[in-house]
Amino acid sequence: ETGVTQTPRHLVMGMTNKKSLKCEQHLGHNAMYWYKQSAKKPLELMFVYSLEERVENNSVPSRFSPECPNSSHLFLHLHTLQPEDSALYLCASSQTPGAEQFFGPGTRLTVL
Amino acid sequence: GQNIDQPTEMTATEGAIVQINCTYQTSGFNGLFWYQQHAGEAPTFLSYNVLDGLEEKGRFSSFLSRSKGYSYLLLKELQMKDSASYLCAVYGSNDYKLSFGAGTTVTVRA
């Protein structure tokens, strides 16, 4: 238990669906992150929020839309995804940028 | 861009020692992390190096040479539960961006 929770743990969706991934951190951290993890590839940073402001968008397609309503919650809204978007989506948080990151268990996403 | 290299797979025997190497080429350097990730689980923090030298934490040690762009993670007295993927990650000049290697899958055999 790292203090970072993610729901759902598994998600199967069609290409025309709209769904959202949720992340919550109970550590009082100020920075939150979304990563994509595909088999045999490095973790890819998608988005970074610091003090609820987006500070990094790593050239992510617009079909992924992040939202950070407060410092404890982070969402990733998904729409019109492609099969190649199937992956493990990990959320992480850190006290400050540059500090150790604590990861959630991830959401295993399958796009049909 | 950032480039983090580590071996894909390693196999070792229970009770033995394994050393996982990581080389990096980054724009700037603000720290190197090692994470452990069991299949289907979250990566968990193992060690942090920002200055040259060896950091020891129980059965795990991590070494850094900034001039060589090189680190290693040393796992001693291997146990079956150490079978996992080990991720090397580096903060470059951008404090928001932690760049990861593809991970080294370690298999411990009885």
Q: Which amino acid is at B70?
A: Y
- The mean pLDDT values, 10 residues at a time, for chain B of 110 residues are 91 97 93 94 94 95 97 98 97 86 96
- Provide the CB-side half-sphere exposure for B98 (13 A, CA): 30
Among the partner residues B94, B96, B100, nearest to A43 by beta-carbon distance: B100
Residue of B nearest to A38 (CA): B102
The DSSP letter of residue A101 is P
- The pLDDT of residue A70 is 93
Collect all residues of chain A within an 8 Å Cβ-Cβ radius of residue B44: 2, 103
User: Mind listing the pLDDT tens digit for each residue in A37-58?
Assistant: 998 889 999 999 998 888 888 8
Q: What is the pLDDT of residue A2?
A: 72
- Other CB atoms within a 10 A radius of the CB of residue B100 amount to 22
Q: How far apart are CA A90 and CA A23, in angstroms?
A: 9
Question: Cα–Cα distance between A79 and A6 in angstroms, integer?
Answer: 19
The residues facing A70 across adjacent strands are A73
pLDDT in tens, A2-46: 799 999 999 999 988 899 999 999 999 999 999 999 988 899 999
For B97: left if phi > 0, alpha if psi spans -120 to 50, otherwise beta; the answer is beta
B96: helix, coil or strand? coil
Q: Hey, what amino acid is at A36? A: K
Sort B8 into a burial class: Cβ within 10 Å, 0-12 / 13-18 / 19+.
exposed
- Give residue ranges of B with CB < 8 Å to any A CB: 4, 8, 30-31, 33, 35, 41-45, 48, 87, 89, 91, 94-103
Amino acid at B82: D
Taking only the tens place, the pLDDT of each residue in A85-99 is 999 999 999 998 889
The answer to whether B16 touches B107, Cβ cutoff 8 Å, is no
Q: Do residues A88 and A25 lie in contact, with contact meaning Cβ atoms separated by under 8 Å? A: no
Contact B91 A98 (CB under 8 A): yes
Distance CA B3, CA B99 (A): 8
